[in-house]
């Protein structure tokens, strides 16, 4: 020690194989250099130049980051095949990050099936072009789970993850109609202080569904009651008119005043009943589409009884003349129609369809249809060499941005893929095998780390990885501090890399790991490959034995000249006999001193 500093403040010591965790940015999770891939510049369609540049850096795995649809469509025909030839020359592999496009078919105006099918065609086109990059085998093609639709927000409690805010979709229109937050409600029936009770977002959603369905039933019942009132107040007149009509004594061209009055009452009552039946039809459709399996069983039986009460005969069957006449009598009877509607109203009170659902549930239903169709079309065309549909978790704030939601999407996609395959003649075992092979997850470590801005801790973020661990086929490496969507090399933020990677499989994930460090490129203008090798502790030599890149800083301590690393020239200039080589301001003879002298 000399003065108030120690020698290790000038010279930190060199490489030692006894310190395999050496280095400030080492994440603690060691990855071979051959497993690390580099992404290309997403702003250019000149993929041949981009791939060549990355290969010259020493990367053996390249991902074409074609997130912009316009840029992707600007890649000329044949260029992807040329990229494949480039990579083959040195034994490298190339994957594709497909254009970022909303797979659910949802937009600002709500859900549109035509738009969903259009997206499906675009994604299928991306798969077909991706096959040119690896025509001899399957490789992952990354698609985002969602892009344009806002997601719900979460909070951590003692019981685990809970919604803090739900984005709610009306299923019939596919529009985002409102959000449900946790809030305090005041109830006169509450025994709590000041009548305050906390209503969770789930409870708010339940209240919305119940209120909406109850209001629809009330409106339906109101029309039916209006018809009943008219029928009751003019029962005798209407009965006489109906008798005249049945006995063919009614002539529309020559009616009596009593018949005209009765006809007017009957027309008004029929108007209310017809309106009730129309509303009933709409409600029945919603209840059947958005109700439970038990609800559907109830509705199926009720519909059969309703048709019988109204005298609606099966057009696909032959009927006796007597049965036809009885059916006509039922159809003419207003009392009979009113009774049939009343029976259905009572049935509707026993079902409770989900007219409104969280956006995540709606998005899973629609997006899984898209992904399943794309995967099936890929398999049908390319068989065992079909590219893999690898679904990525988007930056937090977008729907389906957590591990649990991504798991739900993948499982729903596989289920639909299997059903579609069986319908097309494939065996169930083969369909399930292909579903497991062709549908998986691209897990973006930086994206999921953004849950920190919703109050998540490292252990909570690691927990999200557990949900998708069985499905992971590809990994995106980027670091940040959990508050913004920045992309730094690993080890330069607070992403719990080691803990997450260890959750992916029993021995850690051994597949491709692609570095996405756009923020590093933007601000520091240099490739992040060296920093990634240091952060991931990659072995310097191919045999996998140390030293490691995270120890490289200790090899020469920044000295690059002199008599080797043990006796660098700078030592002789600084500590040699005399001060002639010191800057002039420090008493030496060297003009134009650079930097700070010794203190």
Q: How far is CA 473 from the centre of its chain?
A: 16
* CB contact set of 12 (below 8 Å; sequence gap of 6+): 554, 557
d(CA 578, CA 598): 15
d(CA 44, CA 26): 32
Helix (H/G/I), strand (E/B), else coil: 174: coil
Structure tokens at 103: 């797979």
**What is the C-alpha end-to-end distance of the chain, expressed in Å?**
14
DSSP 8-class letter at 384: G
Cα 567 to Cα 17, 376, 557, 559, 573: the distances in Å are 21, 65, 12, 10, 11
d(CA 243, CA 311): 18
Which is nearest to 495 in space by CA: 510, 511, 517, 470?
517
Bridge partners, residue 38, by sequence: 62, 515
Bridge partners, residue 32, by sequence: none
Cα 173 to Cα 104, 108, 138, 204, 300: the distances in Å are 14, 12, 38, 20, 24
Count the Cβ atoms, other than its own, within 10 Å of residue 204: 19
Structure tokens at 76: 């000329």
CB–CB of 445/475 below 8 Å?
Answer: yes
Tokens 């079309």 appear where?
377
* CB contact set of 594 (below 8 Å; sequence gap of 6+): 583
| pLDDT given for residue 568 in this prediction | 55
Tokens 């051994």 appear where?
510
CB–CB of 353/291 below 8 Å?
Answer: yes
d(CA 463, CA 449): 11
Domains of the chain plus CATH, in order, are 27-151+358-536 (3.20.20.150), 231-354 (no CATH), 564-599 (no CATH)
d(CA 328, CA 331): 5
d(CA 122, CA 120): 5
CB–CB of 378/189 below 8 Å?
Answer: no
DSSP 8-class letter at 393: P
- Strands of 182-287 (E only): list them: 183-186, 196-199
Which pLDDT tens digits describe the chain residue by residue (599 residues)? 455 655 555 445 555 656 677 677 899 998 888 889 999 999 999 999 999 998 888 888 999 999 999 999 999 999 999 999 999 998 899 999 999 999 999 988 889 999 999 999 999 999 999 999 999 888 999 999 999 899 999 998 888 889 999 999 999 999 998 888 877 666 665 555 555 567 889 989 999 999 999 999 999 999 889 988 887 877 676 666 667 666 666 666 666 777 677 777 777 888 888 899 999 999 999 999 999 999 999 999 999 999 988 888 888 888 888 888 788 878 777 788 888 999 999 999 999 999 999 999 999 999 999 999 999 999 999 999 999 999 999 999 999 999 999 999 999 999 999 999 999 999 999 999 999 999 999 999 999 999 999 999 999 999 999 999 999 999 999 999 999 999 999 999 999 999 999 998 765 677 789 999 999 988 998 889 889 999 998 888 877 777 888 887 665 544 344 444 455 555 555 555 555 666 666 666 666 544 444 44
Query: Could you tell me the pTM of the whole model?
Result: 0.83
Cα 366 to Cα 152, 416, 468: the distances in Å are 17, 11, 20
Compute the radius of gyration of the chain from its Cα atoms.
36
């Amino acid at each position: 020690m000399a003065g108030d500093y120690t020698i290790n403040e000038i010279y930190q010591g060199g490489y030692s194989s006894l310190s395999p965790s050496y280095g400030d940015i080492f994440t603690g999770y060691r990855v071979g250099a051959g497993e690390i891939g580099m992404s290309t510049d997403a702003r250019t369609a000149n993929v041949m130049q981009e791939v060549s540049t990355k290969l010259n850096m020493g990367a053996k795995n390249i991902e074409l980051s074609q997130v912009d649809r316009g840029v992707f469509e600007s890649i000329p025909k044949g260029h992807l095949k040329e990229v494949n030839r480039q990579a083959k020359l040195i034994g490298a592999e190339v994957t594709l990050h497909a254009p970022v496009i909303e797979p659910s078919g949802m937009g600002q105006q709500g859900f549109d099936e035509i738009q969903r099918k259009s997206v499906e065609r675009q994604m299928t086109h991306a798969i077909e072009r991706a096959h040119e990059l690896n025509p001899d085998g399957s490789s992952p093609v990354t698609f985002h789970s969602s892009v344009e639709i806002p997601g719900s927000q979460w909070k951590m409690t003692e019981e685990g993850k809970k919604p803090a805010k739900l984005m709610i979709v009306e299923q019939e229109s596919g529009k985002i109609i409102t959000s449900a937050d946790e809030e305090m409600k005041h109830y006169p029936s509450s025994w709590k202080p000041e009548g305050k009770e906390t209503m969770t977002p789930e409870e708010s959603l339940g209240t919305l569904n119940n209120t909406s369905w109850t209001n629809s039933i009330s409106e339906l019942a109101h029309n039916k009651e209006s018809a009943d009132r008219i029928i009751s107040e003019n029962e005798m007149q209407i009965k006489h008119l109906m008798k005249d009509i049945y006995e063919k004594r009614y002539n529309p061209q020559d009616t009596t005043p009593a018949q005209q009055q009765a006809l007017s009452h009957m027309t008004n009552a029929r108007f209310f009943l017809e309106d009730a039946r129309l509303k009933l039809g709409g409600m029945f459709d919603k209840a059947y589409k958005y109700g439970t399996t038990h609800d559907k069983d109830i509705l199926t039986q009720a519909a059969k009884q309703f048709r019988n009460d109204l005298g609606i005969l099966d057009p696909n069957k032959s009927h006796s003349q007597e049965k036809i006449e009885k059916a006509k009598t039922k159809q003419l009877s207003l009392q009979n129609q009113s009774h049939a509607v009343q029976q259905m109203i009572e049935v509707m009170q026993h079902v409770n369809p989900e007219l409104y659902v969280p956006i995540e549930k709606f998005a899973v239903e629609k997006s899984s249809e898209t992904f399943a169709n794309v995967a099936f079309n890929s398999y049908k065309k390319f068989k065992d060499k079909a590219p893999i549909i690898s679904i990525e978790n988007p930056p937090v704030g977008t729907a389906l941005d957590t591990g649990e939601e991504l798991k739900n999407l993948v499982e729903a996609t596989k289920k639909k893929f299997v059903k579609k395959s069986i319908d097309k003649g494939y065996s169930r075992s083969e369909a399930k095998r292909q579903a497991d092979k062709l549908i998986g997850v691209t897990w973006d470590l930086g994206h999921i780390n953004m849950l920190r801005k919703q109050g998540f801790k490292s252990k909570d973020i690691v927990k999200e990885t557990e949900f998708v661990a069985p499905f992971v086929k590809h990994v995106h490496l980027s670091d940040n501090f959990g508050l913004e969507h920045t992309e730094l090399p690993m080890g330069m933020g607070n992403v719990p890399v080691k803990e997450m990677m260890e959750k992916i499989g029993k021995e850690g994930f051994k597949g491709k790991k692609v570095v996405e460090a756009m923020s590093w490129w933007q601000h520091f203008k240099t490739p992040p490959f060296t920093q990634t090798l240091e952060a991931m502790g990659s072995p310097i030599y191919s045999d996998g034995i140390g030293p490691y890149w995270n120890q490289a800083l200790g090899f020469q301590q920044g000295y690059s000249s002199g008599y080797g690393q043990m006796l660098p020239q700078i030592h002789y200039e600084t500590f040699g006999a005399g001060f002639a080589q010191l800057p002039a301001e420090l008493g030496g003879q060297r003009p134009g001193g650079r930097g700070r002298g010794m203190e």
